[in-house]
Structure 1
Amino acid sequence: MQNVAPIEHIWSMTKDLEQAVAVGEWERAAQLADARSPLLASLGAQPPQEVMARLRSIYEIDNRIVEVARAARQALGAEYQSNMQASRNAGQYLSMARR
């Protein structure tokens, strides 16, 4: 039973992490994930059954976060490409305007 209190702290951090991702606070999400990792590792290889149930929920949230992060990365990549193209177009316009 000594692992029950730490798992609740990990759960709270996971919910905070989930909230940070929901509002696009990726730096905060990364900080929370970094702080949470050693706590998860400290649970050991075979935590009690009640801890395992909470870990399964954490795993499900983490999987959703990964999907949100992938989608955000793709969107940012597309936006970057679009902005780079717009910058090239503006540069071409300036080159033509100077002639």
Structure 2
Amino acid sequence: MQNVAPIERIWQMTKDLELAAAVGDWERAARLAHERSPLLTALGAQPPQEVMARLREIHEIDSRIFEAARVAQQELGAEYQANMQSSRNAGRYLSMAMA
């Protein structure tokens, strides 16, 4: 039972991380993941059964967050490419307008 308190802290951080990801606050999500990582490591290789159950839930949440981050990265990349193309088009217009 010695690991129950730390796992609850990890759980709360995971829920906060989930919320940050849900609102697109990826900087906060990354910071929370970084802070949470050593706490997970400190649980050791053989945590008690009740801790393992919570860790499975955390893993499921992390998988969803990972997928959301992957999708957000793709969307931002596409948006960046579209904005770069718009910028090039505006530049071409200015070049032609000044000619």
TM-score where L is the length of structure 2? 0.99
Question: Aligned equivalents of 1:16 and 1:91: distance in 2?
Answer: 43
Question: Aligned equivalents of 1:80 and 1:46: distance in 2?
Answer: 45
Question: Aligned equivalents of 1:98 and 1:13: distance in 2?
Answer: 56
Task: Name 1:10's counterpart in structure 2.
Answer: 10
Identity of aligned residues (%): 77
Task: Name 1:86's counterpart in structure 2.
Answer: 86
Please tell me whether residue 33 in structure 1 is matched to residue 19 in structure 2: no
Could you list the runs of 5+ residues in structure 1 that have no partner in the other structure? none
Please tell me whether residue 50 in structure 1 is matched to residue 46 in structure 2: no
Q: Which runs of 4+ in 1 moved over 3 A?
A: none
Task: Name 2:68's counterpart in structure 1.
Answer: 68
User: Is the partner of 1:47 in helix, strand or coil?
Assistant: coil
Question: Shift of the alpha carbon at 1:63?
Answer: 0.2
Question: Aligned equivalents of 1:89 and 1:97: distance in 2?
Answer: 12
User: Is the partner of 2:46 in helix, strand or coil?
Assistant: coil
CA deviations 1:18-77 (Å, max 9, x no partner) are 000011111111110000000000000010000000000000000000000000000000
Question: Shift of the alpha carbon at 1:16?
Answer: 0.3
Question: Aligned equivalents of 1:3 and 1:76: distance in 2?
Answer: 39
Across the two proteins, how many residue pairs are aligned to each other? 99
Could you list the runs of 5+ residues in structure 2 that have no partner in the other structure? none
Two-structure CA RMSD over aligned residues (Å): 0.4
TM-score where L is the length of structure 1? 0.99
Question: Aligned equivalents of 2:56 and 2:36: distance in 1?
Answer: 15
Question: Aligned equivalents of 1:56 and 1:36: distance in 2?
Answer: 15
